[in-house]
Amino acid sequence: MAENILLYPFRNQLKKQVGGRDKLYPYLQLFNTIDNVVWPHGGGEDFVGKVDVTYVFGTIQNGTSAAVTGTVASTANGICRLTTGTSNAGYAAIFPNTDGSLEGAAFVGNNSPVVWARVKTSAITTVKIEIGFTDSDADAGAVNVLATPTATADNAAVWCFDTDDAGNATGWQGFTVRAAGTPAKVEPSLTVAAATYEWLGVAIQGTAVKFMHADQYGNPDYESAWQATAITATTALVPWFFAQARAGSASRTIDLDFVVAYQRRASSDS
């Protein structure tokens, strides 16, 4: 099984390294070698220019006023905005390439993929958010019911925040489903704060899944254990950034400051 490339690709983590090939190697090789697959091309998407929804990103929107704003003008760093709209269960999402085509489903567990996003939400009421990997780019969310839990996707590994979850309506939960089986969750103490950026990461290694979180500055503050047999290792997966309304009259905006996904080109290091 190939090792994950790098779990925390942040400048402050690089500064902590004291030098030497062993410690600097993961940071230097991620974007500086050609035996890794990185999406979007060039090392991630900052949303500074107009988002290309023909060749780079696909989008879906459903419901009144649901929308994807590829680049919001005059915002620091550049952002993509997902607007849930005013229909109950309305949603918006972005992912690689065209909706329904799975053309961007280039990631597989055997190649040890990782996805990161810097995210904030306008409010922490009546909203659902998913960040991670899933096997469909046409679902109304990979997660069906977070509390139970049940899934819409057959294979998925996503961070999910859902204010409809009576058991944990204020925090992020790691959600996995494998081969349409019974989903599983991890529930750390990570309370979502409105209008505050945070980093969410998901790593897959074969059939195992790890969930990672860092504050807005890139300081890691949570890392789950590897969740065994959590996803099918050979299923084609797509990076997934999704927001959904949980009340028809209360539209929410979810801002994406940066997204990136990467994996090995081969399933082993030999």
Per-residue pLDDT tens for 138-147? 999 999 999 9
Residue 54: inside a domain, yes or no?
A: yes
Q: How many independent structural domains does the chain possess?
A: 1
Does 2 have pLDDT greater than 90? no
Residue 1: inside a domain, yes or no?
A: no
Residue 5: inside a domain, yes or no?
A: no
> Which distant-in-sequence residues (6+ apart) come within 8 Å of 182 by Cβ?
none
Residue with tokens 């229909």: 87
Confidence of residue 229 (pLDDT cuts 50, 70, 90): very high
Residue 260: inside a domain, yes or no?
A: yes
Share of the chain above pLDDT 90, in %: 69
Q: What is the mean pLDDT of the chain?
A: 90
List, for residues 123-142, the tens digit of each pLDDT value: 999 999 999 999 999 999 99
Residue 151: inside a domain, yes or no?
A: yes
Residue with tokens 């905006």: 253
Secondary structure (DSSP) of 25-63 = HHHHHHTT-SSEEEESTTT-B---S---TTTTEEEEEES
Confidence of residue 102 (pLDDT cuts 50, 70, 90): low
In the DSSP assignment, the letter for residue 8 is -
pLDDT value for 15: 60
Alpha-carbon span 208 to 64, nearest angstrom = 38
**Cα torsion 268, 117, 161, 222: sign:** positive
Confidence of residue 269 (pLDDT cuts 50, 70, 90): confident
List, for residues 242-268, the tens digit of each pLDDT value: 999 998 788 999 999 999 999 998 898
Does 172 have pLDDT greater than 80? yes
Tokens found for residue 78? 């550049």
Q: Are 84 and 93 in contact (CB under 8 A)?
A: no
- 144 phi and psi angles, rounded to 5 deg: -90, -65
For residue 216, give the 3-state DSSP assignment: coil
List, for residues 190-211, the tens digit of each pLDDT value: 999 999 999 999 999 999 999 9
For residue 209, give the 3-state DSSP assignment: strand
List, for residues 72-88, the tens digit of each pLDDT value: 888 888 999 999 999 99
Expressed as residue numbers, the domain containing 197 is: 11-264
Residue 269: inside a domain, yes or no?
A: no
SS3 content of the chain, % helix, strand, coil (to 5): 5, 40, 55
Tokens found for residue 97? 């390439």
Residue 86: inside a domain, yes or no?
A: yes
Instruction: Tell me which residue of 142, 132, 151 sits closest to 213, measured CA to CA.
Output: 132
Alpha-carbon span 169 to 206, nearest angstrom = 31
Does 99 have pLDDT greater than 80? no
For residue 21, give the 3-state DSSP assignment: helix
List, for residues 58-71, the tens digit of each pLDDT value: 899 999 999 998 88
Alpha-carbon span 55 to 263, nearest angstrom = 20
Does 23 have pLDDT greater than 80? no
Q: What is the CATH number of the domain that holds 24?
A: 2.60.120.200
Does 235 have pLDDT greater than 80? yes
In the DSSP assignment, the letter for residue 2 is P
Residue 28: inside a domain, yes or no?
A: yes
Confidence of residue 18 (pLDDT cuts 50, 70, 90): low
Confidence of residue 165 (pLDDT cuts 50, 70, 90): very high
